[in-house]
Amino acid sequence: MTDLEPVAVLGTGAMGGVVARAFAAAGHPTTAWNRTPQRLADLVAADPAVRPAGTPVAAVEGATVVVLAVFDVAAVHDLLDALGDAVAGATVVNLTSTTPETTRALAARVGEGYLDGAAMSGTRHVGDAAALFLYAGDPVTFAAAESVLRALGTARHVGTDPGAASLWDTALLAVILGAVAGFHHAAALVGDPAARMAEVAVGHLPFVAGVLTQHAVQIDAGRYPVDDGSVAVFAGAVDQLIATSVARGVATDLPDALRAVLDRAITAGHADDGLASVAEVLR
Ligand SMILES: NC(=O)c1ccc[n+]([C@@H]2O[C@H](COP(=O)([O-])OP(=O)(O)OC[C@H]3O[C@@H](n4cnc5c(N)ncnc54)[C@H](OP(=O)(O)O)[C@@H]3O)[C@@H](O)[C@H]2O)c1
């Protein structure tokens, strides 16, 4: 017997499937439902610790945490129609992708107990701390559910506004895509096996992390010392990146975009400020 809280997962696609398995692996009595029964049957065959339910209402019976992981927000509304008041008193965690606006409408519909979530690591690593999940909504509701949600990975509460998880999700995508696009460009430029570039670049990431932390302090203070080079110096470095790319036949779309942002900062009078001053011309 386990005394861990019972949970329910509605929707056992790529995301809901790994979420159900992670809850079950952590020892939570886990019940799952899926619209297409065969998909649920496949999941239960792979992990008999997940109990199948024939309807959404049957799945959530007794669950303190109910996770919704379906295709889109319209499907979430369909599910809420089917659930009626069966989730009253439970924490409803929506992992389905939404926008801040559609999330607020969902939160208003569910009322007390709604948390919005964003799976930042896709389906990878779900069940260990390397998987990052962002949550938004009432902090007291989050605190009460946190020990359960930790079964999925690292759980971070990013705001009381239920739309915050979706906003942060999209914003963090800019960080991830910036790093990934930069890596693709670097690998194309060097032309060696990309694995070599990955090895060296990944080893350099702690430095990049330090830069982000330092820039955050500068942006929050509105002061941009030139410790690591001015905007003008970085504009010169990007020009060099563009010239080197052209010489090797590598597309310059990415460094061109960087140069355009630096130009905007220079026009606004930040040529002799630190690189973080670019933040001033982005909004
Ligand atoms: N996969 C990822 O890495 C990832 C990462 C972050 C966020 N997400 C988000 O997580 C959500 C689920 O993604 P996924 O990758 O699991 O998608 P998926 O593999 O395509 O699964 C979609 C799930 O939604 C169900 N569904 C669709 N319409 C429905 C409806 N009207 N009523 C009830 N159930 C319905 C499907 O049921 P059937 O089996 O019956 O079709 C299936 O269980 C999406 O919003 C996605 O953006 C996914």
Segment 202-231 shows an average pLDDT of 96
**Token digits of residue 224:** 């941009």
pLDDT digits (tens, 9 = 90+) for 109-156: 999 999 999 999 999 899 999 999 999 999 999 999 999 999 999 999
**Token digits of residue 122:** 């896709």
Half-sphere exposure of 205 (CA within 13 A, CB side): 12
Ligand 1 atom nearest 36 alpha carbon: 40
Segment 212-238 shows an average pLDDT of 96
The Cα 114–Cα 127 span in angstroms is: 22
Q: What percent of the chain stands above pLDDT 70?
A: 99
Is the Cβ atom of 78 under 6 angstroms away from ligand 1?
Answer: yes
Strand order, beta sheet including 65-68: 50-52, 30-33, 7-10, 65-68, 91-94, 114-119, 132-137, 154-159
pLDDT over 70 at 192, yes or no:
yes
**Token digits of residue 24:** 């079950």
pLDDT over 50 at 1, yes or no:
no
Mean pLDDT across the chain, nearest whole number?
96
**Token digits of residue 281:** 């011309």
Which one-letter DSSP state was computed for residue 136?
A: E
- Compute CA distances 249 → 191, 201, 252, whole Å: 11, 22, 9
Segment 251-276 shows an average pLDDT of 98
Pocket test for ligand 1, best of 71, 83, 121, 168 (most atoms within 8 A of CB): 71
What pLDDT is recorded for position 2?
A: 58
Is the Cβ atom of 95 under 6 angstroms away from ligand 1?
Answer: yes
Is the Cβ atom of 36 under 6 angstroms away from ligand 1?
Answer: yes
Rg over CA atoms, the chain: 23
C-alpha 210 chain-centroid distance: 21
Pocket test for ligand 1, best of 10, 12, 15, 166 (most atoms within 8 A of CB): 15
pLDDT over 60 at 161, yes or no:
yes
Compute the CA torsion angle 234, 237, 243, 248 (nearest 10 deg). -120
Q: Are 34 and 11 in contact (CB under 8 A)?
A: yes
Is the Cβ atom of 83 under 6 angstroms away from ligand 1?
Answer: no
Q: Say what angle helices 231-247 and 253-267 make with each other, to 10 degrees.
A: 160
Residue 233, classed as helix, strand or coil, is helix
pLDDT digits (tens, 9 = 90+) for 14-61: 999 999 999 999 999 999 999 999 999 999 999 999 999 999 999 999
Beta bridge partners of 94: 68, 116
Is the Cβ atom of 96 under 6 angstroms away from ligand 1?
Answer: yes
Ligand 1 atom nearest 96 alpha carbon: 45
Q: 227 pLDDT band (50/70/90 cuts)? A: confident
Is the Cβ atom of 132 under 6 angstroms away from ligand 1?
Answer: no
The Cα 182–Cα 187 span in angstroms is: 9
Is the Cβ atom of 94 under 6 angstroms away from ligand 1?
Answer: no
Is the Cβ atom of 146 under 6 angstroms away from ligand 1?
Answer: no
pLDDT digits (tens, 9 = 90+) for 64-116: 999 999 999 999 999 999 999 999 999 999 999 999 999 999 999 999 999 99
Is the Cβ atom of 103 under 6 angstroms away from ligand 1?
Answer: no
Is the Cβ atom of 123 under 6 angstroms away from ligand 1?
Answer: yes
**Distance (Å) from CA 10 to ligand 1 centroid:** 10
